[in-house]
Amino acid sequence: MSRSVLVTGGNRGIGLAIARAFAETGDSVAVTHRSGEAPEGLFGVRCDITDPEQVEQAYKQVEEEQGPVEVLVANAGITRDQLLLRMSEEDFSAVLETNLTGTFRVVKRASRGMLRARRGRIVLISSVVGLLGSAGQANYAASKAGLVGFARSLARELGSRNITCNVVAPGFVDTDMTRALSEEQRAGIVAQVPLGRYAEPAEIAAAVRFLASPEAAYITGAVIPVDGGLGMGH
Ligand code: NDP
Per-residue pLDDT of the chain (234 residues; tens, 9 = 90+): 799 999 999 999 999 999 999 999 999 999 999 988 889 989 999 999 999 999 999 999 999 999 999 999 999 999 999 999 999 999 999 999 999 999 999 999 999 999 999 999 999 999 999 999 999 999 999 999 999 999 999 999 999 999 999 999 999 999 988 888 888 988 998 999 999 999 999 999 999 999 999 999 999 999 999 999 999 987
Give the span between the Cα atoms of 61 and 58, in whole angstroms.
5
> Which alpha helices (H) appear in the chain, and where do they start and end?
13-24, 52-66, 89-96, 102-117, 128-132, 138-158, 176-179, 183-192, 201-211
Whether ligand 1 lies within 6 angstroms of the CB of 13 is answered as yes
Q: What pLDDT does residue 210 have? A: 98
Annotated binding residue at 144?
yes
Decide whether any atom of ligand 1 lies within 6 Å of the 130 Cβ: no
CA–CA separation, 132 and 74 (whole Å)? 21
What ranges do the domains of the chain cover? Answer: 4-225
Whether the Cβ atoms of residue 198 and residue 173 lie closer than 8 Å to each other: yes
Is 59 a residue of the active site? no
The pLDDT, as a whole number, for residue 3 is: 97
| Residue 11 near ligand 1, beta carbon < 6 Å | yes
Q: Which atom of ligand 1 has the smallest separation from the CA of 48? A: 19
User: Which residues have C-beta within 8 Å of that of residue 188, sequence separation ≥ 6?
Assistant: none
- For residue 194, the cross-strand partners are none
Report yes or no: 122 and 151 within 8 Å, Cβ to Cβ. yes
Considering the entire predicted model, what is its pTM? 0.97
**Topology, domain 4-225:** Rossmann fold (3.40.50)
**Other CB atoms within 10 Å distance of the CB of residue 202:** 14
What is residue 207's predicted lDDT score, i.e. its pLDDT? 98
Smallest Cα–Cα separation from 230: which of 207, 202, 196, 203? 196
